[in-house]
Structure 1
Amino acid sequence: MSISDDQRVLMALIGAAHGIRGEVRVKPFGDDPLSFTDYGVLTTKDGTRSFEVESARAKKTVVITKFKGIADRNQAEELNGVELYIRRDQLPEAGEDEFYYSDLNGLAVIDQSGETLGKVISVQDFGAGDLLEIRPRRGGTFYIPFTREFVPEVSLAEKRLNVDLPENYFSEGEPEPSEG
């Protein structure tokens, strides 16, 4: 049975080789850096390659990982850039007010007046918290902080989220000097 792309969830990205025994640096996606090791076999997005974790240990911002069948540095170097996925149905249900990034992609973004601003195309975290990347019908993409203040309601059933943006959110002018 073929699994479509939207039924796969990106768990981690393999980076550079680490040492000479086939270990690699893995950048995990998720709150727990070692959580990608909990789901058994990981696959590439197209499902043509699979990887089973033999051992893993967290080290700063990466997880040093040994995959079964990867015995030396040359084999490890060939894995650089490979994305690791699991099937969506392998994940536990999200708790209340918790969402998997993949579930947010494609949701319509509706402002307080009922106008559709665009669709969520990705969720990014550049270090200061989650941002929703929105693609409007025309023009370039823009970001909205994924906080309760900016996104008071998410309805996965209705495939939409409501946003409450400040009046000047899309202002391109210079900020007004504050009075002090």
Structure 2
Amino acid sequence: MLVIVGRIGRAHGIKGEVGMVVRTDEPDRRFADGAILVTDSRTPRKLTVESSRWHSGRLLVKFAEAPDRTAAEQLRNLSLQAEVSDDERPEDPEEFYDRELIGLAVRTTEGEVAGEVIDVVHLPSQDLLEIRRPAGNAVLVPLVEELVPEIDLGGRYVVVADRPGLLDPEGADVTPADVDAD
């Protein structure tokens, strides 16, 4: 199975390195020397990691297929995917692949059916579970332990600690005291 692990940014220097927008919790593993990645484009192509290094908090990657800056610039904005076996798990037991979470049933801490995970949204600040509610609407729930205290892959469910407005944004209790008067 192919899993998105990053997006190629702008070229760095003249030797073909590119900055990466990392989309994996295991960049040292996915961008290791010799790793073969596949572009997510109309005409997918394979890129071989020649080297990678961290520079000023940013991952720089050199691909064998991009020997210079001109070739590296042609790769900009391509998404990269890595082949991951179906039974592979992240090294950290508290981490999950998106494919493991999508399709899980959602329950509240009180045991009520709350919907199904339909997507995982990755933002720079945090990840969000997109949950389709029984009524058909969708809500976004931050994937943090305080709000998602339990993920049971074997049982095929996640538990969401419902807070006012979290699973039913239109039902949030807002009083005049909650609104900051200007």
Whether TM exceeds 0.5 here: the answer is yes
Partner of 2:159: 162
Structure 1 residue 84 displacement after superposition:
1.3
For 1:69 and 1:167, locate their aligned partners in 2 and report how far apart those are by CA, in whole Å.
52
| SS of equivalent residue, structure 2 residue 162 | coil
Partner of 2:63: 67
| SS of equivalent residue, structure 2 residue 112 | coil
For 1:175 and 1:130, locate their aligned partners in 2 and report how far apart those are by CA, in whole Å.
29
| SS of equivalent residue, structure 2 residue 70 | helix
For 1:160 and 1:21, locate their aligned partners in 2 and report how far apart those are by CA, in whole Å.
48
| One-letter code aligned to 1:177 | A
Contact 2:118 2:132 in 1 (8 A): yes
Contact 2:48 2:64 in 1 (8 A): yes
When residues 71 and 81 of structure 1 are mapped into structure 2, their CA distance, relative to the original with a 3 A threshold, is same
Structure 1 residue 174 displacement after superposition:
4.2
Unaligned runs of 5+ in 2: none
- Taking only the aligned residue pairs, the percentage that are identical comes to 29
TM-score (norm 2): 0.76
Contact 1:124 1:133 in 2 (8 A): no
Partner of 1:147: 144
Are 2:49 and 1:43 equivalent residues in the alignment? Answer: no
| SS of equivalent residue, structure 2 residue 85 | helix
Number of residues of Structure 1 aligned to a counterpart in Structure 2: 170
Partner of 1:120: 118
| One-letter code aligned to 1:106 | G
When residues 14 and 89 of structure 1 are mapped into structure 2, their CA distance, relative to the original with a 3 A threshold, is same
Contact 1:132 1:146 in 2 (8 A): yes
Partner of 2:74: 78
| SS of equivalent residue, structure 1 residue 24 | strand
Structure 1 residue 51 displacement after superposition:
0.9
Partner of 2:177: 177
Structure 1 residue 63 displacement after superposition:
1.3
When residues 16 and 9 of structure 1 are mapped into structure 2, their CA distance, relative to the original with a 3 A threshold, is same
Structure 1 residue 117 displacement after superposition:
2.7
Q: Which moved more, 1:58-67 or 1:88-97?
A: 88-97
| SS of equivalent residue, structure 2 residue 31 | helix
Cα RMSD for the two superposed structures: 2.9
